Structure 1
Amino acid sequence: MIRHIVLFKLRKDQRDGALQKIFDGLAGLRHSIPGMVDFHGSENFSPEGMTRDYTHGFTIDFMDVKARDAYLVDPEHKSLGEQLCGVAEGGKDGLLVMDLNLSDAH
């Protein structure tokens, strides 16, 4: 299992409606990308004071690397990624992306 994690800083001039549309689009990819298992996205509400100004994030779980790789080249994902960069503070530089291999997790 692969967990794809994206953290970002929503621009202050953006409305939550635009972000919700992106989240809905990403969640909908489950229906067209085999092996995409789950999507969760929300505003950051951590009380620890270590957010480094990342305001929102999402995770996507994939059955395996093959499914994750299919997502990465999917045209709809690329379009939604461009939209996300458009609402993120600093554009692409305002995003942090990492993938965890849950099969190897200890």
Structure 2
Amino acid sequence: MIRHFVLLRFRADVSAETKSGLYEELARLRDHLPGIVDFQCGSNVSVETELIRGNHDAFWVDFADENARDEYLRDHKHQAVGARIVAHTIGGIDGVTVVDLQF
């Protein structure tokens, strides 16, 4: 299994509704791409504020394997919602951090 973990630094003017809509689009990819096992999202509630570094939001996608993750990365629907996420983050692509873990 691959867990694709994404930390986000959304701009201050991005509403909770906008974030929710973006997350809903990502969650719907589960119906579109069969290798997605799970999707979760939420706000960073860490009390280690000095270590958050502006990453107040996160989501992760669990994939059955590397091939499923790679299909997701190439998928046009994922790329479209990803571009909208980047457009809402501080510094564009600099507002996104990705970590993939293999289990």
Same fold (TM over 0.5): yes
1:47 is paired with a residue of what secondary structure? coil
| 4+ residue runs over 2 A deviation | none
Q: How far apart, CA to CA, are the structure 2 residues paired with 1:70 and 1:34?
A: 10
Q: Which amino acid aligns with 1:2?
A: I
What is the CA deviation profile of residues 11-47 of structure 1, one whole-angstrom value per residue up to 9, with x for unaligned ones?
Answer: 0011111111110010110111011011111111111
User: Counterpart in 2 of 1:34?
Assistant: 34
Shift of 1:86: 1.1
Shift of 1:56: 0.3
In structure 1, runs of 5+ residues without a counterpart are: none
Shift of 1:52: 1.2
User: Counterpart in 1 of 2:3?
Assistant: 3
Q: Is the 8 A contact 1:19 1:87 kept in 2?
A: no
What percentage of residue pairs aligned between the two structures are identical? 39
1:78 is paired with a residue of what secondary structure? helix
Shift of 1:48: 2.1
Q: Which amino acid aligns with 1:33?
A: L
User: Counterpart in 2 of 1:84?
Assistant: 85
User: Counterpart in 1 of 2:76?
Assistant: 75
Q: How far apart, CA to CA, are the structure 2 residues paired with 1:29 and 1:2?
A: 16
TM-score, scaled to structure 2 = 0.95
User: Counterpart in 1 of 2:15?
Assistant: 15
TM-score, scaled to structure 1 = 0.93
Q: Which amino acid aligns with 2:61?
A: I
Q: How far apart, CA to CA, are the structure 1 residues paired with 2:79 and 2:64?
A: 20
Q: How far apart, CA to CA, are the structure 2 residues paired with 1:12 and 1:48?
A: 20
How much is the aligned-residue C-alpha RMSD, in angstroms? Answer: 0.8
What is the CA deviation profile of residues 54-87 of structure 1, one whole-angstrom value per residue up to 9, with x for unaligned ones?
Answer: 1100010000001001100111100000000011
Q: How far apart, CA to CA, are the structure 2 residues paired with 1:48 and 1:98?
A: 19
Q: Which amino acid aligns with 2:6?
A: V
Corresponding pairs, count: 102
